[in-house]
Each structure stands twice: as C-alpha cells, then as structure tokens.
C-alpha cells in the first residue's frame, strides 16, 4: 500500500539513451545538456513548493537531477537504493521495442528483475521516502513510477516525461482517490 501523504515525484532529466530510445535500466547513464536544462527548469517550479526532503535513486541521472534541483531548494538529500530503475538485464542498452507487455506478463530477460519483484522493491523505496520529513520530493525513474501508478490506482497511457514535477495528494473523505497534478 502507498503511504497516504502529499508528495512530489520527478523523473530524472533526459539522457542520451532517452533521446535514442534505449532501455537504460540500471546502466548508470549521465544527464545530457538537455537533461541538465530540464532539471534547472524543474528547480524553478519546485522552489515554490514546500518540499522538506529530497529522496533520490542512487543512479547518476537521478542524483545529478536532484543536485541541480537542490541548488534552489537546499534541502536534505537521502539516497534510497530501492528507488533505482528496474534491472532489465540483457535488454539494457537495446533500442526500445514493445517488450513491456511480455515482461509484465511474466517473461524475464536474462539478468532482469521480474515485474512483480520490481514493483514490490519500488514500492518499498517509495514508502521509505515517504517516511521522511515531508512533503518529500522523490527524484527517480519512469519505471519506478509504475509502483505509484499501480498502488494509487492511476491510469496513464504514456510514460511520465523527464523532469516534469507531479504533486500527489492522498485520498480524503471528500475525494476518495489520489489526485495528481503537474507543478506549474
């Protein structure tokens, strides 16, 4: 279950592999110039939010994004290993093709995590982040966000974009489902 509290989620800035549409997984790819510019733009938006703590994946693209964001926020940064992107094994570095439905249905590439195992790990990481002083900003990955979508029962047709901050509000008696809004 997703811990019911307000939080912000930010997928890391763009990398060359994002641009080339390659599976990154846990391959430690840095941000490109566009990704750093995206992080600076997101920092300007997030500076108006009441973020108390930044929790981040240990992968370089997420850490770089968090460090750029923190130039504006100046908040404690906590690295949480379980916020890492899915380990996609032998598929990492390959051009994206529609493997995700097969993977979600049970096929596991050599050296990869299973879908249920990944979602359980990602949820542990998200809840560990949400246990920190909040509101929390989670800087992580598109795949890690699938755990939020699944456990908050959010329906999305497309991956969340790089460096587009999202505010999450938990259910209330007046609004019985999670609310997600872009930070503008």
Which residues, listed in sequence order, are joined to residue 181 by a DSSP beta bridge?
Answer: 167
Q: Is 85 an annotated catalytic residue? A: yes
Q: Considering 12, 14, 64, 141, which one is annotated as catalytic?
A: 12
Q: Considering 14, 64, 85, 113, which one is annotated as catalytic?
A: 85
Q: Is 12 an annotated catalytic residue? A: yes
Residues catalogued as catalytic: 12, 85
């Amino acid at each position: 279950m997703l811990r019911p509290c307000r939080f912000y989620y930010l997928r890391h800035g763009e990398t060359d592999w994002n641009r080339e549409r390659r599976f990154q997984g846990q391959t430690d790819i840095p941000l490109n110039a566009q990704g750093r510019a995206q992080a600076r733009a997101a920092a300007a938006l997030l500076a108006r939010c009441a973020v108390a703590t930044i929790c981040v994946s240990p992968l370089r693209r997420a850490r770089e994004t968090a460090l750029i964001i923190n130039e504006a926020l100046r908040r404690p940064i906590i690295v949480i290993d379980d916020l890492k992107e899915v380990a996609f094994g032998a598929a990492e570095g390959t051009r994206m093709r529609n493997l995700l439905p097969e993977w979600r249905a049970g096929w596991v590439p050599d050296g990869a995590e299973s879908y249920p195992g990944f979602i359980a790990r990602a949820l542990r990481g998200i809840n560990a982040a949400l246990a920190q002083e909040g509101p929390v900003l989670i800087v992580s990955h598109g795949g890690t966000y699938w755990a939020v979508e699944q456990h908050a029962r959010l329906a999305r047709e497309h991956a969340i974009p790089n460096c587009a901050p999202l505010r999450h509000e938990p259910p209330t008696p007046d609004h019985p489902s999670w609310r997600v809004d872009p930070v503008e």
